[in-house]
Chains A and B, each alone.
Chain A
Amino acid sequence: MLAFIIRRLLQSILVMLAVSFIAFSLFNFTGDPVALMLPPEATQLDREEVRKTLGLDQPFYVQFAVFVQNALQGNFGISLRLGRPVSQLLIERLPATLELATTAAALGLLIGIPLGIYTALKRESWTSNLLLTGSLIGVSLPNFLIGIFLILIFAVWLGWLPSFGRGEVTQLGLWSTGFLTESGLKALVLPAITLGFYPVTLFMRLVRAQMLEVLRADYIKFARARGLTNNAVYFGHALKNTLVPVITIAGLQLGGLIAFAIITETVFQWPGMGLLFIQAVQFADIPVMAAYLCLIGFIFVSINLMVDVLYYIVDPRLRTDRAGGH
């Protein structure tokens, strides 16, 4: 078990190195931050000088090596746009993104799973058909469009909810939370629904498909033959087995929600890491982009690791498989 985790940790370091290496090779295409840092009247000489002091005149692999060297010491540099340490910026923005992503994931699970069960059990009913058709919209509509629709309906037409921002936040140490104020909770509703739309439909369809498959299994027939009630069969036996793959997907989805909150955050001016990243791209703010991509890589890798460990615990077959290959 320990060897397994250590092996995975070593692999994840490689993954993060690869992520940041690819990121650095792409930074050439985002352009030159110096163009926006200096006033138009600056001379070519001034620009060259700034480029040199920032190390931007170096080829990307040299810049990458310097970055890795500093990152290993916990120094991610300073944002060229905001002039503040990148680590500090990311720490400030992390709570907003995590609160949004976890709320969206919770929505996905709390709404998606019951709907999935319902549509599996009441296959023929018109509500099921309606829900399934509706879920197609959720899967195929892009996030920003859902966000703009929600703003139009709930902020512009009905005037119930704010159209942007995070409302009043409360500072708990370094963590800023929007959960404790009414305006904070109100501001969370639309972005969370926007971001949660996809996981809701995803979990609904996943649970439905799993449930239908499980219901055809032999042990369900035996359970029925034993004369168990419908509820005992569905929730005692079928649902339990349905949820195993759901755990995996839920874990991966959380990583995805954190990473892909970029669009939702941009639409709602949600002050999270995604918004920071988008603005960094526009400004070619290389230190922020690099640190963000590394952090996202790290989140994915660690969630993957946790899922693997969970599997290891849940599925006994993995444990006996230690010696041989696949």
Chain B
Amino acid sequence: MKIAYITYRRAVDSMRVRSTLAVIAASFACVACAASSVFASTELPAKSFRWSSRSDVFSMDPHSTNNGFNNTISSYVYEPLVIRGKTMAIEGALAVSWLPVDATTMRFKLRDKVKFHDGAAFSADDVVFSITRALEKTSDFSEYMQGIRGAKKIDALTVDIVSDVQNPTLLDQLTEIRIMNKAWAQNHKVLRPQDYKNGEETYTARNANGTGPFILKSREPDVKTVMIVNPNWWSKIDGAITEVIYRPIKSDATRVAALITGELDLVLDPPVQDLAKLKENRDIKILEGNENRTIFLNFDQSREELLYGSKGKNPFKDIRVRQAMLLAIDVNAIHKTVMRGLSLPTMSMIAPQVRGYTKDVEKRPAVDLVRAKKLMAEAGLANGFEVTFDCPNDRYINDIQICSAIAAMLAKIDIRVRLNAMPATLFLPKIQKSDTSLYLLGWGVPTFDSLNPLQALLRTKTKGTDGNFNFSGYSNAKVDALVEKLKTETDFKKRADLTREALLIDQADVGHIPLHHQVIPWAMRKNVTVVHRSDNGMWARWAVIN
């Protein structure tokens, strides 16, 4: 069956090649006549909202690509049971209310009279189907499905979601699990999320059928995605727009130019160096928003000898060296000169928007080079040491400039840094093997809860998501115990206490050196109003054009 399909596929492909060649020949002959027949220009409707950023979404399948940007676009068409509203608080979307039945079961009442874009009615079957689909092996959303065992239909508009153990972040997780129509998925044979590994394009990659505020009208990858407003949506969008046009533009200069010329209404990622110029423009405004992403430094604290550095004893194992680095790195200078004011310098490994954050984790010692040098000398490293610093150059705002600044700061206490700048495609696989001695990393918190960063970054690496992004070998049994408690504690006051305690232990150990939380500027035309979400999501349903 499979082989037959592939052969069929190849036959189709080669036919396409042949007919393309024929068309090429024909159209060359026609170029001359074509040039003379120019049709009247088709003006865009006045109410489209046109925006752009550097890259395009990979797929429209709601369960196949899990990254912030993809999830944003996906949320135009598809809806989850619960969403984050303008204040990032959890609100009902396809669910209207929810109550725990017992410790591991949450019962959701679903919204009545909701219709999918193809006209089908929304019901509990679709929720059960979508939860099951997101649990499939090819789903990219395992992170959000953690601890969720499955869904059970109670009646047409009631669903139980069952967890393995008591799960305090269930609702946070469900904000990213979007609901598809079961019958539609069956008709188009997309019961499982797209599997890149099988080398097939599935129907869901370029077609979508959700319940959301926008209907996917056309999609040309890397060129243009057009969505029109869903007239039958159960709620109302803020603006009077009739369609959203997303067009990725890779070149920074061109993207900014297109905003200035008025071909775009909003640019999600204006280059930092252009902001000052853009602010001078009367037609443009900049909206700065705090992202819940924290940029920090980490270093190999477990190996006896550094993989990439001076021979001999690993200096990062000595807490005095780590303290000296903390005292030598001037985050305020980075804030002023490198980030041009666009950052929140911090001592905390979690951003203020993350649940569990408290202000008392922000006490950072002042920069003190004299004490730092003294600590280095006490550690027997008065002459310093050498180390290679792995740094991504296309991942975070001004990442490579931050790394250069840190290299210069560390040089003052005789830590001689060799900067190793790489694109994310090289950087991530390298550090994911812990094949590094010193690196810069950023961590955004998709669940908006402290468990996610503490578990991934601070906890000892074991299996699953425990210590999954702890590449430094940092390990403290007390932190581990606190993270374990966080996994099941449901009282948010107690969770905040556990979080603070873990963060303070990490600070005392100098297990990480936090630098800042990212501030993300969006550039838009003066007449545009949008809501800046701290997950950097640009939700067109809140866009208003005056």
Contacts and interface: CB of A to CB of B under 8 A. Distances in A.
Interface in B107-155: 140-143
A85 B13 contact: yes
B24 to A, nearest CB: 7
Interface in B154-208: 194, 196-197, 199-202, 205
Contacts of A39: 66-67, 140-143
A81 B220 CA distance: 14
A203 to B, nearest CB: 20
A282 B463 CA distance: 30
Contacts of A132: none
Contact of B253 (A80, A81, A85, A148): A148
Contact of B31 (A162, A166, A179, A182): A179
A251 interface: no
A66 interface: no
Contacts of A87: 13, 16-17
B546 interface: no
A-B pairs with lowest CB-CB distance, top 3? A31-B425, A35-B428, A31-B426
A283 B55 CA distance: 11
Nearest to A186: B41
Interface stretch (B255-263, B308-316, B347-355): B255-263
A40 B290 CA distance: 21
B10 A75 contact: yes
Nearest to A29: B426
Given A32-B425, A172-B23, 9 more contacts: A32-B429, A41-B465, A50-B197, A74-B14, A85-B13, A163-B263, A180-B37, A182-B40, A275-B250
Contacts of B222: 82, 271, 275-276, 279
B250 A269 contact: yes
Interface in B228-253: 247-251, 253
How many A residues are at the interface, by size bracket?
Answer: 35 or more
14 contacts: A31-B429, A38-B140, A40-B428, A74-B17, A77-B199, A83-B196, A85-B9, A98-B24, A151-B254, A155-B258, A164-B249, A174-B19, A181-B39, A268-B254
B254 A36 contact: no
Contact of B425 (A33, A98, A144, A151): A33
Nearest to A271: B223
Contacts of A314: none
Nearest to A46: B142
Interface residues of B, number: 75
A87 B199 CA distance: 12
B247 A269 contact: yes
B251 A266 contact: yes
Given A41-B142, A83-B59, A156 B260 contact: yes
A46 to B, nearest CB: 8
A32 B221 CA distance: 22
Interface in A249-306: 266-269, 271, 275-276, 278-279, 282-284
Given A164-B254, A165-B223, A41 B456 contact: yes
B261 A156 contact: yes
Q: Which of B13, B14, B67 counts the most A-chain CB atoms under 10 A from its CB?
A: B13
A172 B96 CA distance: 48
Contacts of A42: 142-143, 468
Nearest to B146: A41
A292 B399 CA distance: 31
